[in-house]
């Protein structure tokens, strides 16, 4: 079984550091995780303030490769230089280097040992072991996409769309097969009993619906309940599980779509999706291909990112053949979350139809969180099955119709609301009207695309008549559009066309053509005054090159956009304005390595078609020299951040030496850029240098520093050993005082070791992160608090037993309203200003309320639990086991009283109120470098939870075991303060000391801790 890092930081949205913390030193950064790229290179990521900071360890044999970094507060790409050309060409999925998203979606090394891919034009899934990535990368030539994860896009509603009238007419979806591709289904639910004809899982999990999303969707389509009846209650359901605990793998979705189409599903419901991009991704290709091959209608949730503005419709709703569904509330107002158009790549009309999606009540899976037989959910996920059910009813009425015809009829009969066409498509679905449709429009939505001028644009709208009688149509039009005719006649079993012309105007213009009950949405995106911005990327030989990583930042939305180049030339269309353009250009060396030149144009005025040359020769060298001898660079980087009122962009180049990295700015200076230059160096005698410099205003064109030991802070650090054949890595992270910009670097070393570490002062705050390495992978990480060392000598110990729970510097256990949220790190070392995470083989967390189990998770120290408002007595138990010499099992328990907080200590409810719990911390004195002692005095600290007032202990008992917990012996306790004590373990023979303690404080809260093999004898 793959071991998982017990990473509380990324697991719990309720918890956010820190509240009003009282530990003397609060932890200032959070370790997020590590990921092995498709190239075999290893990236670790931590959050420092509001930004993500990467560190890269190249794969063996790739030490000379440079890495471009680009991100915002929540996004981070790390792209090796030998991938730049393929990313630019579109044959390598950019998501393979989006390390923030890869970690968020569970691809991190702590969670899986392989990387799922989709390869070649046949879109075949392929799983590649991470330990062989570098070799496979060297031989890779076919197009490669990440087998990414898409996510589910979360009584009155049937009446709202006209379903009861259809039922009265005898149309209930009978005889029609609808496939639901989702999180599985609880087929035993009374509303779905007998409705599911076949269930199949395309994931590694069973078909059991532990999420509840798929059951809710299936019941919305075909549930049988007097009050919460499905839209097509007699439809036959096929259920494919394509979503697992951490999301929906794209390869599983594709397999599920093929299965559904081949099994005869007329309609396929996809209440899932992910961000759309300019190209055609594998899911979009699969939707269009299967629709054409089988006549299937794929009804797809548009997504829930509408609050972010335009162009937020997700994929695969963005596919041409998909029917993209947005959401309305019960008053037919567009839901604020409902994704908005136009489509990213061509301003096509998406979403295409709306349906109820707010507080939709349907069946709750008995395997999912919550209580009761039904639950209310909101999202375009909930709107989508309303349209799928309507399509099933219509397919019963017209069994020979293709998915294309069903889509046209549903859109043509929809009820427009008071919104732009780009936000609603044809309007809210009306199944009763759809049953009466005879004539349909082709296309059912007339998109005029994106226009760069005010010139008229004309498109053809064709009406098709499947009946045996001619149908005369009187035509009307709204918006800045005109028709070539006001009336036409569509012959029996024939067609007739009309020309529609879009007139002048600015911005996104929309309207409708109406024709005897058939409504067709129209839209054109007439861009504001805009121009082509073309870049030409030139290496140091003067040649155009695609070996570059370039982007644009700025504009009205302050987003960054990659600028891919072909033959060294790339063009983007932008509104008139001022932009920031950046490119890092590689020039190969004869020895096979390459020089990287990062060239920044912070002010680019675009008032006409503009060509900008990103010339590598504009960058200048970087040099750092030392008065100490034998200093060698190991990891270096240059970068900067630039912020607007709404966004920030962070970018840089990482490498092994400054000899091949150059930096330069072209154009006028600006005052909103913070540049950083730094790295890690080693020297003989176990010496290391961690240095960082920050510059404000213009980006340095070249840089040089002379480093003198006498001007630095010196840290004499001891790193103990937990097990043979493990190494360590110390990351020193520097933060500047003005804007909290941060940069950090680390170097691996053998354990145990005593090192001398130097870092510059320069009004910087430093914090450290220690990685315990098994090979290249991190199996434990300990994160320390901030220090502001002055010039002189300082002392630190790391990787020192006892390893156990720590509540330093984070909201690890909090209550928000009626939810208790937990993310307690269980493997900090003995220092009280640090917390620690570890790979574990088994974990469990259980919360009890007055002896009755509230809930349980299979994650150590983690969980979210709904609790009643009133004050109640709770007991929290957690345990974790791991393969380790020390602390192979940690078990902790807390008993406390909690009730709904009267006030929230943070704006918008972030952080919650700290639970009144305490961590018991052991710190044996005089351990040797292998964490052993013959006899030991142990300092004991009771560490209060962040946001909870310290409460002195009234009772503290400590026991020791010398046989791995078979027998226990009481130890003497000497109180040294309200939250501290000492105990003494006698001089004994044997191998290990295990420790067990129980504390009660003045509030009546209790804490218990057991650490097997706490330290060695």
Catalytic residues: 182, 213, 381
E strands, 736-868, are 742-750, 753-759, 765-774, 777-783, 792-798, 813-816, 819-823, 835-840, 842-849, 852-857, 862-866
For the chain, how big is the Rg over CA atoms in Å? 31
Dist CA 57 CA 634 (whole Å)? 10
Cα 523 to Cα 526: distance, rounded to the nearest angstrom: 9
Residue 104, judged by CB atoms within 10 A of its CB (0-12, 13-18, 19+), counts as middle
The three-state (H, E, C) secondary structure of 399-447, written as one string = CCCCHHHHHHHHHHCCECCCCCHHHHCCCECCHHHHHCCCCEEECCCEE
C-alpha distances in angstroms, 927 versus 416, 805, 987?
A: 75, 20, 13
Contact 745, 680 (CB under 8 A): yes
CA distance 33 to 6: 10
- Which tokens in the block code for residue 544? 């155009």
Q: 777 pairs with which residues across the strands? A: 774
Instruction: For 821-854, give one letter per residue: b (16+ CB within 10 A) or e.
Output: bbbbbbbbbbbbbbbbbbbbeebbbbbbbeeeeb
Q: What CA–CA distances, in Å, run from 833 to 18, 810, 945?
A: 13, 11, 13
Residue 362 to residues 198, 698, 981: CA-CA distances in angstroms? 21, 58, 56
Helix and strand numbers, DSSP H then E, in the chain: 13, 68
Q: Judge contact between 401 and 434, C-beta under 8 A.
A: no
Give Cβ neighbours of residue 505 (< 8 Å, ≥ 6 apart): 454, 480, 526
CA torsion through residues 399, 405, 411, 412, sign: negative
Taking the C-alpha atoms of 492, 476, 448 and 460 in order, what is their torsion angle to the nearest 10 degrees?
Answer: 30
3-state secondary structure of 312: coil
User: What would the two tokens of residue 682 be?
Assistant: 């080693």
Instruction: Record the tokens describing residue 250, joined without a space.
Output: 């794209």
d(C-alpha 228, C-alpha 360), whole Å: 9
Q: What beta strand segments (E) does 92-176 contain?
A: 114-119, 124-129, 144-146, 149-152
Distance CA 780, CA 774 (A): 9
Contacts of 683 by beta carbon, 8 Å cutoff, 6+ apart = 626, 628, 629, 630, 631, 632, 689
Give the H or E element holding residue 220.
helix 213-222
DSSP 586-622: EEE-TTS-EEEEEEEEEEEEESSSEEEEEEGGG-EEE
d(CA 811, CA 822): 8
Q: Which long-range contacts (CB under 8 A, 24 or more apart) does 566-569 make?
A: 566/88, 566/89, 568/536, 568/537, 568/538, 568/543, 568/544, 569/534, 569/535, 569/536, 569/537, 569/544
What percentage of the chain's residues is helix, strand, coil (to nearest 5)? 15, 45, 40
Instruction: For the chain, give the longest Cα–Cα distance.
Output: 103
């Amino acid at each position: 079984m793959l071991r998982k890092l017990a990473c509380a930081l990324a697991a719990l949205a309720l918890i956010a550091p820190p509240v009003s913390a009282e530990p003397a030193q609060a932890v200032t950064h959070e370790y997020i995780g590590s990921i092995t790229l498709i190239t075999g290179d290893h990236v670790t990521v931590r959050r420092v303030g509001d930004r993500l900071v990467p560190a890269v360890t190249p794969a063996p044999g790739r030490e000379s490769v440079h890495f471009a970094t680009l991100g915002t507060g929540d996004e981070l790409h790390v792209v090796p230089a030998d991938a730049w050309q393929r990313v630019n060409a579109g044959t390598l999925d950019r998501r393979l280097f989006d390390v923030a998203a890869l970690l968020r979606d569970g691809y991190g090394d702590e969670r899986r040992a392989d990387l799922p891919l989709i390869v070649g034009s046949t879109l075949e899934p392929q799983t590649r072991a991470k330990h062989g990535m570098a070799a496979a990368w060297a031989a890779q030539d076919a197009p490669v996409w990440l087998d990414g994860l898409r996510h589910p896009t979360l009584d009155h509603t049937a009446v709202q769309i006209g379903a009861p009238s259809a039922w009265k007419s005898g149309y209930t979806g009978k005889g029609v097969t609808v496939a639901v591709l989702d999180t599985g289904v609880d087929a035993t639910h009374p509303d779905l009993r007998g409705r599911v004809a076949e269930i199949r899982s395309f994931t590694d999990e069973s078909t059991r619906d532990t999420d509840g999303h798929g059951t809710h969707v299936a019941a919305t389509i075909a549930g049988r309940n007097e009050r919460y009846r499905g839209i097509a209650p007699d439809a036959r359901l096929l259920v494919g599980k394509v979503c697992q605990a951490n999301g929906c793998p794209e390869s599983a979705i594709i397999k599920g779509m093929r299965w559904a189409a081949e099994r005869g599903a007329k309609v396929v419901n996809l209440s899932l999706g992910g961000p759309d991009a300019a190209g055609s991704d594998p899911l979009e290709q699969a939707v269009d291909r299967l629709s054409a091959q089988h006549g299937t209608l794929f009804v797809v949730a548009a997504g829930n990112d509408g609050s972010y503005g335009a162009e937020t419709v997700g994929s695969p709703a963005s596919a041409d053949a998909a029917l993209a569904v947005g959401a309305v509330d019960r008053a037919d107002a567009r839901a604020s979350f409902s994704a908005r158009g136009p489509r990213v790549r061509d301003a096509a009309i998406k979403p295409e139809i709306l349906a109820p999606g707010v507080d939709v009540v349907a069946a709750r899976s008995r395997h999912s969180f919550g209580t009761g037989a039904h639950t209310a959910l909101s999202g375009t996920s909930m709107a989508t099955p309303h349209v799928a059910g309507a399509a099933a009813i219509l397919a019963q009425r017209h069994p020979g119709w293709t998915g294309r015809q069903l889509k046209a009829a549903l859109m043509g009969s929809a009820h427009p609301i008071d919104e732009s066409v780009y936000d609603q498509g044809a309007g809210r679905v009306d199944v009763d009207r759809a049953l009466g449709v005879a004539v349909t429009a082709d296309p059912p939505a007339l998109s005029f695309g994106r226009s760069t001028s005010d010139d008229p644009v004309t498109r053809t709208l064709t009406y098709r008549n499947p009946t045996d009688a001619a149908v005369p149509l009187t035509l009307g039009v709204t918006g800045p559009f005109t028709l070539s005719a006001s009336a036409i006649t569509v012959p029996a079993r024939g067609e007739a066309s009309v020309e529609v012309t879009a007139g002048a105007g600015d911005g996104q213009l929309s309207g409708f053509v109406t024709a005897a009950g058939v409504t067709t949405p129209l839209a054109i995106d007439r861009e504001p005054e805009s121009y082509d911005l073309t870049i030409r990327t030139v290496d140091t030989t003067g040649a155009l090159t695609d070996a570059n990583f370039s982007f644009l930042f700025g504009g009205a939305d302050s987003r960054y956009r990659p600028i891919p180049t072909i033959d060294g030339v790339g063009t983007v269309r932008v509104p008139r304005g001022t932009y920031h353009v950046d490119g890092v250009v590689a020039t190969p060396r004869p020895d096979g390595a390459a020089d990287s030149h990062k060239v920044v144009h912070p002010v680019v005025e675009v008032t006409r078609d503009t060509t900008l040359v990103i010339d590598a020769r504009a960058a200048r060298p970087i040099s750092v020299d030392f008065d100490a001898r034998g200093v060698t660079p190991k990891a270096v980087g240059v970068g900067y951040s630039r912020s607007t009122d709404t966004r920030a962009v962070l970018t840089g180049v990482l490498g092994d030496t400054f000899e091949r990295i150059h930096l330069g700015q072209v154009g006028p200076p600006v005052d909103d850029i913070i540049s950083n230059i730094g790295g890690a160096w080693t020297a003989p005698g176990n010496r290391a240098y961690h240095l960082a410099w920050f510059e404000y205003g213009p980006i340095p064109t070249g840089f040089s520093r002379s480093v003198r030991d006498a001007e630095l802070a010196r840290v004499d650090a001891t790193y103990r050993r937990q097990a043979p054949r493990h190494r360590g890595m110390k990351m020193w992270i520097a933060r500047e005082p003005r804007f909290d910009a941060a940069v950090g670097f680390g170097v691996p070393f053998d354990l145990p070791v005593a090192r001398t570490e130097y870092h510059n002062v320069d009004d910087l705050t430093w914090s450290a992160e220690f990685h315990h390495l098994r090979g290249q992978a991190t199996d434990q990480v300990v994160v320390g608090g901030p220090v502001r060392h002055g010039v002189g000598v300082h002392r630190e110990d790391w990787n020192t037993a006892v390893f156990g729970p720590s509540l330093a510097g984070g909201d690890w256990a909090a209550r928000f309203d009626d939810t208790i949220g937990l993310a307690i790190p269980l493997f900090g070392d003995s220092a009280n200003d640090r917390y620690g995470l570890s790979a574990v083989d088994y974990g469990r967390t259980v919360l009890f309320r007055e002896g009755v189990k509230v809930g349980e998770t299979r994650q150590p120290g983690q969980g979210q639990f709904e609790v009643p408002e009133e004050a109640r007595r709770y007991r929290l138990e957690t345990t974790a086991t791991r393969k380790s010499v020390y602390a192979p099992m940690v078990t902790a328990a807390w008993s406390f009283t909690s009730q709904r907080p009267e006030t929230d200590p943070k704006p918008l409810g972030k952080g919650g109120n700290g639970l009144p719990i305490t961590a018991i911390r052991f710190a044996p004195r005089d351990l040797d470098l292998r964490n052993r002692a013959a006899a030991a005095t142990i300092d004991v600290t009771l560490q209060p939870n962040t946001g909870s007032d310290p409460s002195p202990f009234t009772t503290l008992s400590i026991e020791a075991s010398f046989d791995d917990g078979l027998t226990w012996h009481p130890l003497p306790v000497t109180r040294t303060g309200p939250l501290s004590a000492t105990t003494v373990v006698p001089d004994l023979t044997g191998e290990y000391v295990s420790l067990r303690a129980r504390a009660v404080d003045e509030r009546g809260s209790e804490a218990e801790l057991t650490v097997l093999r706490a330290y060695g004898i």
